[in-house]
Structure 1
Amino acid sequence: MHSWRFDAIGTRWEIETALPLEGATRESVGGIVAAFDATWSRFRDDSVVSSLRAEGGRATLTPAAADDAAALFRVYRDLGRATDGGVNPLIGSALDALGYDAALSLRPGAPQSALHEWEGVLRWDDTSLELDEPAVIDVGAAGKGRLVDLVSAALAHLPGRVTVDGSGDLRVRGGTARVALEHPYDPTFAIGVVEVTDAALCASAVTRRAWGDGLHHVLDGRTGLPVRTWVATWALADDALHADAAATGLFFDGGPGLADRWGVQWVRMSSEGRVERSPGFPGELFTAPGP
């Protein structure tokens, strides 16, 4: 297998292919990543979502970005309803308030909840994205999964197994990859393994993107504070968008039910070390599931 490693949207990526990637293919992937970042990054002053930060208003979307908006906000709608507002695409203001801001100051201030009724102030169509009031859109609950799917689709013409790994969110096509479920507190230890065949596996942990005194990137939109009960999640689905979204939802009480309705298999670990899994999860766990 040939490997191409690069940095994108603030994290490390790796693409494994049976044959080396040609320059034109790499340029195509780079263009997809750049366009996605130019629309959805809240860390860039010139992005589409940043243009709505201060005053709200209406921003023009390219056809590709409009497709992204439709896909992303559909899953956010389901996530928000299943978690009673715990997952919210306007959580960016709360992340900024705790120091996970565009400058990565990591200097926390007072917690700030997201807008609970985001569906009433955020709209999108085939050409635009609109906010009725100032807010910071953050699609981190599902955005990386969406981008993994886009990159994987761009490589569909390649023979053999193709694995697109966006730093823990991966999709495999044309074969099988055996993946370890990394322990959130010890990266040298796995709590289990699973074989991913023509599917996507996404993981999330509160030990990633953590700073300060118990602060991390998985916030409850109702309070603006980090979640505490669950510390790591894994979700296996047909596509990375739903796997990524389910991995976020699993930090909340309504997450398992939504994952089950989506047909997503999952595992999650609590702060006490207790492990839960969906009945059909095909992997092997090295620690016994909790009651």
Structure 2
Amino acid sequence: MSGTDWEGFAFQGIGTDWEISTHLPLTAALRESLLDHIERFDAAWSRFRADSLVAAMARAPGRYRFPDEAAALGPLYSTLYGLTDGAMTPLIGSSLERLGYDPAYSLRPAGPPLPAPAWESVLSWSGTSLTASEPVVLDIGAAGKGLLVDLLAAELEGAGTGSFIIDASGDLLVRGPDPVSVALEHPYNPAQAIGVVELDGRALCASAANRRAWGDGLHHVLDGTTGQPVRTAVATWALAETAMVADALATALFFVPGALLADTFDFSWLTVFSDGSATYSAEFEGKLFS
């Protein structure tokens, strides 16, 4: 990412590195408010802490009231669950834990891959109310980081912060009059770029099989119908008006072609496959290096 005259506020949140860049330093009160917002989000949605709402759902069935952002998150997941024939699901948590991506970060499979339970059989999601008929391990990792980017952006805008860049370990949102150049990381070599995007007012989110990988070919992008890691796509990028949508679509691109998703969503995209080939939308804002 390029740019000058930016002041950076770096911190850890939801298990990853963040940086918010602004032309003027953020006040101490605003910084504290942003960190408090992240803590509230984590307390609701994290499956890695025992005191979260998600952890409570994993222990016992019942009706749970989630924060306001659940009202937008549910329909997005429901749409993508349908478009991917169940491959992308918020109920992938038990499948991740089976393969070792559990709250203790054991990174050791506890058995063969476990398909996610069928959404329609175990979970009702209505607005901010989630009702589980049995214990379920919710995991909103496919869209959650992007959602939090949008929530922090709304807080920055509400505080009168004119121009800013939010970088949540590669999930980016830019607000301001000037575009920002963003390198597209090579899926097999983080020190190398395969292209560049001029990001101007939209969100850019990426997903890659090498970002959270362990063991013998295991990684965090699982097919909910099988519980197994996806082996075809290795890296994806999506640009959309909100980071939540871009983040979710970057994951959905592992399961279905971008052209199919474009019938429902207004976004541009790039998918790189394990054989080295790539496909992208006609309006993709990036430039790929030869």
TM class, shorter-length: over 0.9
State whether structure 2 residue 152 is matched by structure 1 residue 151.
Answer: yes
Which of 36, 39, 45 is equivalent to 1:34?
A: 39
1:173 maps to which residue?
Answer: 175
| Distance in 2 between residues matched to 1:260 and 1:205, nearest whole Å | 24
Q: What letter is aligned with 1:84?
A: D
- Contact 1:83 1:249 (C-alpha < 8 Å) held by counterparts: yes
- Partner of 2:142, secondary structure, is coil
| Distance in 1 between residues matched to 2:192 and 2:87, nearest whole Å | 30
Stretches of structure 1 that go unaligned for 5 or more consecutive residues are none
CA-atom RMSD in angstroms = 1.4
- Partner of 1:129, secondary structure, is strand
| Distance in 2 between residues matched to 1:237 and 1:255, nearest whole Å | 13
The alpha-carbon deviation at position 195 of structure 1 amounts to 0.9
1:111 maps to which residue?
Answer: 113
| Distance in 2 between residues matched to 1:261 and 1:59, nearest whole Å | 29
The alpha-carbon deviation at position 120 of structure 1 amounts to 4.2
Which of 9, 18, 21 is equivalent to 2:14?
A: 9
- Cα 1:126–1:86 shift into 2, 3 Å: closer
| Distance in 2 between residues matched to 1:256 and 1:131, nearest whole Å | 33
| Distance in 1 between residues matched to 2:287 and 2:96, nearest whole Å | 35
State whether structure 2 residue 286 is matched by structure 1 residue 283.
Answer: yes
Which of 65, 68, 76 is equivalent to 1:60?
A: 65
- Contact 1:79 1:255 (C-alpha < 8 Å) held by counterparts: no
2:220 maps to which residue?
Answer: 217
Q: What letter is aligned with 1:283?
A: G
1:199 maps to which residue?
Answer: 202
Task: Render the CA deviation track for 1:261-289: whole Å, top value 9, x for unaligned.
Answer: 311100010001101101111211114xx
Segment drifting more, 169-178 vs 193-202: 169-178
% identical aligned pairs: 55
- Partner of 1:59, secondary structure, is strand
| Distance in 2 between residues matched to 1:236 and 1:132, nearest whole Å | 36
- Partner of 1:154, secondary structure, is helix
The alpha-carbon deviation at position 70 of structure 1 amounts to 1.6
The alpha-carbon deviation at position 54 of structure 1 amounts to 2.4
* TM-score relative to the length of structure 1: 0.93
- Contact 1:203 1:247 (C-alpha < 8 Å) held by counterparts: yes
- Cα 1:51–1:250 shift into 2, 3 Å: same
2:3 maps to which residue?
Answer: none
The alpha-carbon deviation at position 255 of structure 1 amounts to 4.7
1:140 maps to which residue?
Answer: 141
Aligned ranges 1:70-109 → 2 under 5 Å: 70-109=71-110
The alpha-carbon deviation at position 170 of structure 1 amounts to 1.1
Aligned ranges 1:38-53 → 2 under 5 Å: 38-53=43-58
- Contact 1:246 1:259 (C-alpha < 8 Å) held by counterparts: no
The alpha-carbon deviation at position 253 of structure 1 amounts to 2.1
| Distance in 1 between residues matched to 2:256 and 2:144, nearest whole Å | 22
- Cα 1:47–1:259 shift into 2, 3 Å: farther
- Partner of 1:15, secondary structure, is strand
Runs of 4+ residues deviating >3 angstroms: 124-128, 157-160
- Partner of 1:187, secondary structure, is strand
- Contact 2:258 2:280 (C-alpha < 8 Å) held by counterparts: no
Q: What letter is aligned with 1:168?
A: G
- Contact 1:83 1:255 (C-alpha < 8 Å) held by counterparts: no
- Cα 1:135–1:255 shift into 2, 3 Å: farther
State whether structure 2 residue 243 is matched by structure 1 residue 240.
Answer: yes
